Amino acid sequence: MYRLVVLASGRGSNFQAILKAIDAGQLTAQVEALVSDQPQAKALELARERGIPARWVDPKAGPLSQSLLEEILPFQPDCVVLAGFMRMLQPVFIQGVGCPIVNIHPSLLPAFPGLQAQAQAVDYGVRFSGCTVHFVDEGLDSGAIIAQRVVPVLEEDDEAALSQRILKEEHALYPQVLQWLAQGRVHCQGRKVSILS
């Protein structure tokens, strides 16, 4: 079974969508652990409720990369999944983890990387936005793009309304991409990613 370790800092709705897809048989993978940098993260609670090992890593306790690797490596992940993990990962972590790391971002990258991507899109006045699943590299939301979904930005949208519309697509897109990865269908050559049929 394809082994996932999920990293989340907050409410964990993407984590929940992944679990739902597993339950529904749409994602043939197993979540081995949920790791958070926030002791109060709702995602930790969700994991505990399901009997999934839930670990809090204290960012103040020492070098975060080291602590994360110590928690994650024993679970032998095939893929590390960032689901609202609000910290930049350092090269020593990315190289040390030894498997692909993927992230979901609420914009059509490379537009609006970083924090409050939905507010950035509303403020900029774009007519379309969406979400992106990408491999994680050492930059800010800069790794090779695996898949995107597009939503319209309506004139009356504020940050909350747009976030809601995008989130719905995130919950469909992330499990789908993880299933492609689990099936070994994601082929990556530099920045060029193709999904094999």
Give contact residues for ligand GRF (rule: CB under 6 A).
8, 10-14, 83-84, 104-106, 167, 170
Amino acid, res. 7: L
Based on CB atoms, which residue is closest to ligand GRF, 85 or 190?
Answer: 85
Tell me the C-alpha to C-alpha distance, in Å, between residue 16 and each of 23, 101, 153.
10, 18, 25
In angstroms, the CA 148 to CA 40 distance is: 30
Choosing from 105, 134, 171, 187, the catalytic residue is 105
105 classed as catalytic? yes
Q: Which long-range contacts (CB under 8 A, 24 or more apart) does 107-110 make?
A: 107/131, 107/132, 107/166, 108/132, 108/148, 108/150, 109/134, 109/141, 109/142, 109/145, 109/148, 110/141, 110/142
Based on CB atoms, which residue is closest to ligand GRF, 62 or 108?
Answer: 108
| Distance in Å, CB of 52 to ligand GRF, minimum | 15
| Distance in Å, CB of 184 to ligand GRF, minimum | 25
Residues in a beta bridge with 129: 151
Tell me the C-alpha to C-alpha distance, in Å, between residue 156 and each of 119, 153, 165.
13, 8, 13
| Distance in Å, CB of 15 to ligand GRF, minimum | 6
Based on CB atoms, which residue is closest to ligand GRF, 72 or 165?
Answer: 165
| Distance in Å, CB of 189 to ligand GRF, minimum | 26
Return the ∠ at Cα 117 (arms to 170 and 104), rounded to 5°.
35
Based on CB atoms, which residue is closest to ligand GRF, 140 or 187?
Answer: 140
Q: Which single residue brings its beta carbon nearest to ligand GRF?
A: 84
- Residues involved in catalysis: 105
